[in-house]
Amino acid sequence: MDFNDVTRLFKEDLDRVECSIQKNYQSDVSLIPGIGDYLLKNGGKRIRPLLLMIGVKLCGREIDERTIRHACVAEYIHSATLLHDDVVDETTVRRGRETVNAKWGSDASILVGDFLISRSILMLAADCDSRIIKAVSEATKFLVEGGLMEYSEARKLTISEAHCLDVILRKTASMMSVSCELAALLSEASSEQEKALVEFGTHFGMAFQLMDDAMDYDSEEDYLGKPPGNDFQEGHVTLPLLHLYENAEHSLRKQIESFVKTENLTQKDFDYVLECMREAKSIEYTLDLARNYIELAKSSIRNVTFPNPEYVKSLDAIADYIYERHTAIRS
């Protein structure tokens, strides 16, 4: 089973999620559904809703309207963070199209992101399940803290690998993890099953972002949907660049320090750093760490008995897809 098999298996449920996303974008403020339609056409893999729905099936429950609603919440919060991040990073292209801030302006991007968060709160309030509200609130708080950590240490090469991983844990893994946690809570799963799903989501989220960080340097624009080197241009010190810096000779360190401080870097600068990364195996180091997290994710759901264990293969397929997408580019 591969990722395409999973999306085919859950096609009807993914269609229901899309309908919920579109329905809940409605507002009498015309700009909101207008931007909502634009975002929907931008697509996305709907990884978080998929994790939630697979988890529900794994725990022996059917995917009902309550599940769909919470899958929509997970996607809304994710979309809101992208809208806000694009403003902070001044990103102009995402998934091969103009970002909302590039097309409508930063104010619109921030405010529509705020709308999605407020809509999520209303959808959670329909349940009034304190466990779910607490889980989503804590994950969102964790996510924002990660963004602030990244922002406060931007363009600094004094950070540690532990700091890089902590930012990933907060900014990316938290929402993957809570998507899996919601599956357990909605299914009334046992504490052991919930713990296993949360661990899967956390490790999966770590691998997901590490892969993205590697691919931002070592991928093609057609695949990324944006020019490679975005992190480099914006001064984000992600693990590939930190690994190169920590293993570089003095002269190269000085060059990297200069690059990080410069806001108008050239393609030649990026190509030079990429070549240095390949020589230092910095991308390979990041990919190896991602692969390790994928294996941790897969092992976490094998130590617990689930009512429908056949859905473990679906989670395996999504985890493998994260790594294999880079392999496919390089082959």
To the nearest whole number, what is the mean pLDDT of the chain?
Answer: 91
Domain ranges of the chain: 3-330
Length of the chain measured in residues: 331
Cα 207 to Cα 210: distance, rounded to the nearest angstrom: 5
pLDDT tops 80 at residue 225: no
Q: Count of CB atoms within 10 A of residue 137's CB? A: 13
CA atoms within 13 A on the CB side of 45: 13
With cut-offs at 50, 70 and 90, classify the pLDDT of residue 327: low
Instruction: Decide which of 32 and 49 is more confident.
Output: 49
pLDDT at 331 over 50: no
Window from 165-174, 201-210, 320-329 with minimum mean pLDDT: 320-329
CATH for the stretch 3-330: 1.10.600.10
pLDDT band per the 50, 70, 90 thresholds, residue 40: confident
For residue 109, pLDDT beyond 50: yes
Q: What angle do CA 196, 201, 205 make, to 5 degrees?
A: 150
Residue 86 confidence class, pLDDT cut points 50, 70, 90: confident
CA 331, distance to chain mean position in Å, is 24
Q: pLDDT category, 247, cuts 50, 70, 90? A: very high
Task: Identify any residues that bridge with 97 across adjacent strands, giving them in sequence order.
Answer: 94
- Under 8 Å between Cβ of 139 and 178: yes
Mean pLDDT for the stretch of residues 246-273: 92
Give mean pLDDT, residues 277-289.
96
Find the mean pLDDT for residues 39-50.
85
